Amino acid sequence: MQQRTKLLVGSLASSLGIIALFAGISFTSALDLARHRIPSLLHEHNQRLIETLPKQPSLEQIQAMLPHHGTRSDSLSIIDTQGRLLGITDKHPGTPSPLVYIDSEYLLAASSGYTTIDDNEYIWVTTPIPDSPYTIVNTHHNARVGLREFMKHIGVPIGFAALISIWLSTWGAMVISSLFRRLNEQRAQLEHQAHHDPLTGLPNRDALSNTIDTTIAHLDSSKQTLAVCMIDLHQFKEINDSLGHHCGDELLRQVAIRLSKALQTPDQAGRFYGNKFAIMLTNAGTATIDAIAGTLLGTLENAFEIDGRYLYIRGTLGIALYPEHAVTAPALLQKAEAAIFQARDNTQYAAIFRTLDNKGAAERLGLINDLRNALRDGQLELHYQPKLDLRSRHIIGAEALARWTHPQHGAIPPDQFIEIAERTGLIKELTRWVLETAVQQCAQCHASGKAMKISANLSAINLHDDELVPLIASLLKQHKLPAQNLVVEITETAMMADPARAKEQLRKLDVLGVSISIDDFGTGYSSLGHLRQLPVDEIKIDKSFVMDMIASEDDASIVRATIGLAHDLGLEVVAEGVEDEAILKQLSDMGCDIAQGYYIARPMPAADFIAMLEKTDDLAEDKPAAVSR
Ligand code: C2E
Ligand code: CA
Ligand code: CA
C-alpha cells in the first residue's frame, strides 16, 4: 500500500474511532443526566402546584387540585404523615399505582426514589405541603433512553461532527503525505546530486568508478573483459573562450545526451571532469578498437546546434582493458586517460593503452599526414579485379580496390593504409571517395552498354556513418546507376562488432536496392544462421580456404559445405583467391556461382578493365579466364 493511502486509511479509522467514542460517552452521560434531572423537574413541578393552593389548605382543596397536575407527571398522589394514600390522579387509569409498592416509611423519609414494577421503572418525588400534614407524591414513568431515542436527538450533530472530522482527517492526511513526498523528493534529489554531474546529469567520477568496481566484482575475469574508455573533446577551451561558457556548457550537455543514447544503459557513461567523459563497456571482448571508436566517437560526428550555430567537434578516445591493463576502476580510468595522450602523440583518434611505445609509431605518424594529403591531392586510385560468373563464363562485375602510390615510398599496400585510415577516422573520407569513384566509373561502363556489378569495401567504422546511406543514394541518382549494380562488401568481423548497428545500416542499404556481400567469410565467428537475420545477398569465401583447397581436403570440405549452406539460404557464393585452373574447375564442380582471383585477373586500373571487357566480348564465351593474367 502506498504511504499516502496508508495515512488516509489510518486517519479515517482513527477519526471514526474518536466519533464512536464520543457518541458512546455522550450516550451514557445522557442516560445519567436523565436519571438525575427528572427528579428535580418533578420537584419543581410539585412546588408550582403547591403555590396554586391557599395557605393552610384543607384536604379537599388539595384533592381538588390533583386533576390539574398537567403533563409533567404520570400520577399525582397525596399522603398524610402516616403515609396513607388520601387521593390519586392517574394519567393512565387502571394501571397499578407504583405507590402501592413503596414502603410508606421510606416514602416519607426520602425526597425521591425509584421503584421498578413489571420491568417499568418509576421515579417518585415527595414534596410536603407547607403548613399542612399532607405531602404530594409525583410519580413518573421513567421511559428508558434507548439508542434510537438518543440518535433522534443527537444523531444530526454527531453526523455533522463525523463529517467534519472525516474531512479534517482526510485533509490532514493529504497535507502530511505531501509533506512526506516532498521530503522524499528532496532526499532523492540530494542523493542524485551526490552521484551526478550537475551540468550534464551523467554519473560523476565517483559514481562511475563505483559502477566499474561493482561490475568488475561480478565479472568472470577468465571469460569476460571490460573496456574503460575516455573521450577528450577537442577545441573545448576555444569554444569556451570564443563563444562563452554557456556554449561550452550546452555542448557538454548535448554530448552527454548523445553518449547516453548510444549506450545500452545510461549509467555506463559519466563525466570524468572538464571536457572528459568516461564510458564503461562490458561486452568489449570481441569488439575492435574501430568498433568502439565508431560507437563512441561516432556520437560527435554530426554537428551540434548551439545558439543557432552549427559546431563540429572531434574527440580523442583512450581505452584501457580489464584485466589486461588494470583491475580496479581508478587504475583503469587513469590508463584510459593515459591512452588519450598516447593517441594524440601518434595523431590518432583512438588508442588502446600501451605500456611500451610502439616502434612503428613515428613512421606511421608520417604516413598519417601523408594519407590525409593523398586523399586531398588525388594520389589514390581505384583498381578493379574482375569477377567471373562460373555458369555463363562471363565477367559480370569487379571489386574496387584502393591503391596508393606514395610520392617517396611508392606503392603502399592497402592492408597498411586502410588500417591507418581506420585508426584515424580518415576511413570515412576514403570510403566516400571510393564509392564516388566506383559508382561514377561503373555508370560509364553501364552507359557504354556493359552491365557491370561493382563491389566496394566498407569498414566497420563506416557502419557508424549516418551520412553513408544518403551518400550512396545520391550517388546512384546522380550517375543514374541502378542500385542493383552496386555491391557493398563488409567483413563478418566488422558486422559482428556491432550487430545491431550493422543490421540497421544494412536494412537501409537493402531498402535502397544495393546488394550486400559478406567478405572474408569463414575467418570470423559468425555462422550462416546469424547472417540469416541480415539482408545479405552474397558471401565471399575467404581466399585462405580457396587458395589451399586443392592441397587441403579440410579446406575443400569447408568450401563445399559453405557453398551448400549458402545456396540453401538463397545466397550467391563468390570464391576469392582463385590462383589456378584446378581451383577454378573444382569450384565450378562444387556449384560455386562466381570466382575472383589472380588466375582470372589481378586488380587493374579502370582503363585496363574496360579494355579487358571489350576483349572478352570479342572472344565470346570460351576462354575468359585466360585474359590479362
Ligand atoms: P579484400 O577485400 O579481401 O580484397 C581482396 C584482396 O585479395 C585484394 O588485396 C586482392 O588483390 C587480393 N587477391 C585477389 N585475388 C587474389 C588471389 O588470387 N590470390 C591472392 N593471394 N590474393 C588475391 P588488396 O588489393 O591488397 O587489398 C587488401 C585488402 O585491403 C582488401 O582485402 C580490403 O580488405 C582492403 N581494401 C582494399 N581496398 C579497400 C577499400 O577501398 N576500402 C576498404 N575499406 N578496404 C579496402
Ligand atoms: Ca573485399
Ligand atoms: Ca576478401
Q: What is the pLDDT of residues 215-232, one digit of tens each?
A: 988 887 667 778 999 999
Lowest mean pLDDT among 152-166, 352-366, 488-502: 352-366
Q: How confident is the model at residue 362 (pLDDT cuts 50, 70, 90)?
A: very low
Per-residue model confidence as pLDDT tens digits over 313-327: 889 999 998 887 888
Per-residue pLDDT at 221: 65
Low-confidence winner among 70-74, 231-235, 439-443 (lowest mean pLDDT): 70-74
- In this model, does residue 549 exceed pLDDT 90? yes
User: E-assigned strands of 129-185?
Assistant: 135-141
CATH of residue 510: 3.20.20.450
Spatial distance between the Cα atoms of 176 and 68, rounded to a whole number of angstroms: 64
Q: Is residue 450 domain-shared with residue 557, that is, in the same domain?
A: yes
Domain boundary among 115, 130, 147: 147
Atom of ligand 1 lying closest to residue 402 CA: 38
**Closest residue by Cα to residue 568 from 539, 526, 546:** 539
Cβ(436)–Cβ(475) under 8 Å? Answer: yes
422 CB less than 6 Å from ligand 1? no
Residues 395 and 288 in one domain: no
Residue 93 pLDDT more than 70? Answer: no
- Both 334 and 478 in one domain: the answer is no
pLDDT at 245 over 60: yes
Verify whether ligand 1 is closer than 6 Å to residue 418 (CB atom): yes
Give the chain's length: 629
- What is the pLDDT, as a whole number, of residue 163? 87
DSSP state letter for 413: P
Question: How many A from CA of 429 to the centre of ligand 3?
Answer: 21
Using the predicted structure, report yes or no on whether residue 204 has a pLDDT greater than 70. Answer: yes
Cα gap 144→21, rounded to integer Å: 21
Res. 379 pLDDT band, cuts 50 70 90: very high
User: Poorest-confidence range of 107-116, 430-439, 526-535?
Assistant: 526-535
The domain in which residue 397 lies consists of 381-615
pLDDT value of position 526: 63
Q: What percent of the chain has pLDDT over 70?
A: 90
160 within some domain: no
The rounded distance, in Å, linking the Cα atoms of 535 and 161 is: 75
Name the band, by pLDDT with cuts 50, 70 and 90, for residue 407: confident
- pLDDT band, very low/low/confident/very high, at 72 (cuts 50, 70, 90): low
The distance from CA 433 to its chain's CA centroid, rounded to whole angstroms, is 40
- 550 falls in which pLDDT band (50, 70, 90)? very high
> How many domains does the chain fold into?
3
CA of 455 to the centre of ligand 2 (A): 8
Instruction: Specify which of 76-80, 89-93, 103-107, 117-121 reaches the highest per-range mean pLDDT.
Output: 76-80
Candidates 576, 579, 602: which one to mutate for ligand 1, based on the most atoms within 8 Å of Cβ? 576
**Residue 41 banded pLDDT, cuts 50, 70, 90:** confident
Asked if residue 522 has its Cβ within 6 Å of ligand 1, the reply is no
Encode pLDDT of 16-35 as tens digits: 888 788 778 877 777 777 67
Q: Is residue 497 part of a domain?
A: yes
- State mean pLDDT over 63-81: 76
Burial bucket for residue 147 (CB in 10 Å: 0-12, 13-18, 19+): exposed
Kindly state the average pLDDT of the residues 51-60.
86
Question: Residues 6 or more apart from 266 whose CB is under 8 A from it?
Answer: 202, 260
**Strand, coil or helix: 307:** coil
Looking at residues 408-427, what average pLDDT do you find? 83
Instruction: Answer with the one of 147, 172, 197 that is the final residue of a domain.
Output: 147
Shared-domain flag, residues 480 and 610: yes
430 and 542 both lie in a single domain: yes
459 lines ligand 1 (CB under 6 A): yes
CATH number at residue 308: 3.30.70.270
CA–centroid distance, 558 to ligand 3, in Å, is 16
pLDDT band at 164 (very low <50, low <70, confident <90, very high): confident
User: Which of 27-41, 163-177, 450-464, 526-540 tops mean pLDDT?
Assistant: 450-464
- Looking at the structure, tell me whether residues 351 and 388 fall in a common domain: no
Q: Which residues share a beta bridge with 228?
A: 280, 320
Average pLDDT over residues 343-355: 81
Position 620 scores a pLDDT of: 44
- Give the pTM: 0.50
Are residue 235 and residue 137 in the same domain, yes or no? no
Task: Say yes or no: 342 and 385 in one domain.
Answer: no
Pair (390, 495) in one structural domain:
yes
Q: Is the pLDDT of residue 541 over 90?
A: yes
Q: Is the pLDDT of residue 73 over 80?
A: no
Within a domain: residue 185? no
Q: What is the CATH number of the domain that holds 24?
A: 3.30.450.20
Query: For residue 546, how far is its CA from the centre of ligand 3 (angstroms)?
Result: 11
Q: Please answer whether residues 333 and 228 qualify as being in contact, where contact means their C-beta atoms are separated by less than 8 angstroms.
A: yes
The whole-number pLDDT of residue 145 equals 61
Q: Is the pLDDT of residue 622 over 70?
A: no
pLDDT over 60 at 358, yes or no: no
Q: How far is CA 583 from CA 143, 549, 602, in A?
A: 123, 7, 16
C-alpha 576 to ligand 3 mean position (Å): 7
Confidence of residue 51 (pLDDT cuts 50, 70, 90): confident
Residue 330 forms part of a structural domain:
yes
457-491 pLDDT, tens digit per residue, is 999 889 888 999 999 999 999 999 999 999 999 98
Instruction: Mark which of 147, 168, 193 sits at the end of a domain.
Output: 147
233 vs 366, higher pLDDT = 233
Which is the closest atom of ligand 1 to the Cα of 383? 25
**Is residue 119 one of the residues assigned to a domain?**
yes
411 CA → ligand 1 middle, Å: 14
Candidates 48, 12, 36, 301; CA nearest to 168 is: 12
Band the pLDDT of 361: cuts 50, 70, 90: very low
Q: Are residues 229 and 121 in the same domain?
A: no
Distance 489 CA to ligand 2 centre (A): 6
**Residues 346, 390: one domain?**
no
Whether 76 has a pLDDT exceeding 70, the answer reads yes
296 in a structural domain: yes
Which comes out higher in pLDDT, residue 576 or 619? Answer: 576
Q: What is the pLDDT of residue 88?
A: 80
In a domain, 173, yes or no: no
d(CA 447, CA 12): 87
Confidence of residue 138 (pLDDT cuts 50, 70, 90): confident
Greater pLDDT, 485 or 139:
485
CA-to-CA distance for 331 and 161, rounded, in angstroms? 69
Say if 227 falls within a structural domain. Answer: yes
**Cβ 542 under 6 angstroms from ligand 1:** no
Is residue 519 within 6 Å of ligand 1 at its C-beta? Answer: yes
113 and 53 within one domain: yes
The average pLDDT across 205-212 equals: 92
Distance in angstroms (rounded) separating the CA atoms of residues 423 and 288: 11
The burial of 379, by beta-carbon neighbours within 10 Å (0-12 exposed, 13-18 middle, 19 or more buried), is given as middle
Q: What is the mean pLDDT of the chain?
A: 85
**Ligand 1 proximity of 603 Cβ (cutoff 6 Å):** yes
pLDDT of amino acid 237: 82
pLDDT at residue 263 tops 60: yes
H runs (alpha helix) in 196-229: 205-217
| Atom in ligand 1 nearest the alpha carbon of residue 403 | 38
Identify the weakest region by mean pLDDT among 241-255, 284-298, 354-368. Answer: 354-368
